[in-house]
Amino acid sequence: MTERYPTPCIPDALTLGTLFAPHLAEVCRRTEAALEACAYRDLIVHSGTQRPVFQDDRTYPFEVNAAFKVWVPLSDVPDCFIHFIPGRRPRLLLHQPTDYWYKPAPRPQAYWTEAFDIVPCADLRAARAALPGDLSHTAYLGEDSGGLAGASGLTLNPPRLIRHLDYPRAWKSPYELACLRAANRLGADGHRAAAQAFAAGGAEFDIEMAFLAACRQREQELPYNPIVALNDNGATLHYQMLEKHPPRAHRSLLIDAGAEFAGYASDITRTYAATPGEFADLVQAMDRLQQGLCTRVAAGIDWREIHRLAHERVAEVLRAADLITCSAETAVASGVTRVFLPHGIGHLLGLEVHDAGGLMRAPDGGDIDPPEDHPHLRLLRTLEPGFVVTMEPGIYFIEPLLAAARADARAPLIRWTHLEALRPYGGIRIEDDLAVTATGAENLTRDAFTLAGTAQ
């Protein structure tokens, strides 16, 4: 748990420590305000527990609770707890069992540890003994690990408090922005290696292995399992396979993969064509479209308008590529663009890939209504300085959506004969991570590719 920074331009421990102190002070301030608003005295946050495989003594890979990572960049130790009482130093109850089957976590020595009282706990009984006897006015976030929460009389996962804590997570502190820049730099290194593996004729498995090696992270350390899709596999939005043998022909690669730094995620997608031609031209058109959308990101912009604009721009690309027979305006109004772009244009990013609070009107103000024609968007808020969002337009050739369009009134609006030549390429997605400023946005991803010395 001693941090390493193997990649140039990753902030060192001194820089992170300087940024972490005011970040933690703001976390404490927000938490105190939330506890007061919801009438709780203190807060316990569980890191999460190791889940056993059904009827086996193995466990699934551990996933830390994001509400725990708000406090400490400790992602690999189950059954730890943060205990916060307003006006006092937060405490970390560190799970350190006596064990010879698995290596217990050492006491962390890092830039953030001086800000906490760290209490080693051999088991949950020791953790309970380290907490106050009366927890009747305490809120608990996380799983009811080993009965600790239920046996203590505290309130488990109160929804109103969670909303009060989740809503301000959209605003990123300078410390969080530094971590997100570092996560993008690691991700850019991985994408550079993945592109080289694709150019060398690698299978999906080979391409992922190249990505992992360049990031120097195991798959379970990444913020999500990479999507590595060759050829028509790119038409499956969350393609989850890893074919171990290369296809007979390399046509295209869609790779959606990010890295993690101190608990913060990058979320990056690139699409490559194996050879020049119509699909390669379409990739370039989508890259220009994506960069144009990035220039529209700024404080005060309603994200729903960005989503609508994306469909207008996608319609123009489809028209220019002779994939539709109608005007761009008709393609949007008729729903034809939703055949080719069936997902949202982006989401909040931070401690989670799809970070919390994207639909919230206010901590106590309910959720924002989505557009009727796009009911499943993950982000509906008006952008503010400090928000970090993804921008990920795409064009896909998805068989079930195309079949549905062929069977209804949209059929004459699509040039099917031209479409057939592109279907074996699967699809295109270009995704960057953007930090919103007062006048525009910092493109964390494009900057990271520049620092990595590779194509955007």
Instruction: Give every residue of the chain whose pLDDT is below 70, as ranges.
Output: 1-9, 146, 149-151, 454-456
pLDDT reported for residue 456:
66
Hey, what amino acid is at 45?
Answer: V
Residue from 388, 177, 172 nearest 267 by CA = 388
Please classify residue 126 by burial: count the beta carbons closer than 10 Å to its beta carbon, then call 0-12 exposed, 13-18 middle and 19+ buried.
middle
Phi/psi at 230 (5° precision): -95, 140
Sequence-distant (6+) residues with CB within 8 A of 181 are 11, 444, 447, 448
All domains in the chain, ordered by first residue: 13-169 (3.40.350.10), 171-452 (3.90.230.10)
Structure tokens at 5: 């920074």
**340-389 per-position pLDDT tens digit:** 999 999 999 999 999 999 999 999 989 999 999 899 999 999 999 999 99
pLDDT reported for residue 99:
87
pLDDT reported for residue 7:
52
pLDDT reported for residue 1:
37
pLDDT reported for residue 101:
85
Structure tokens at 31: 């938490």
pLDDT reported for residue 148:
76
Q: Fill in the DSSP letter of residue 145.
A: G
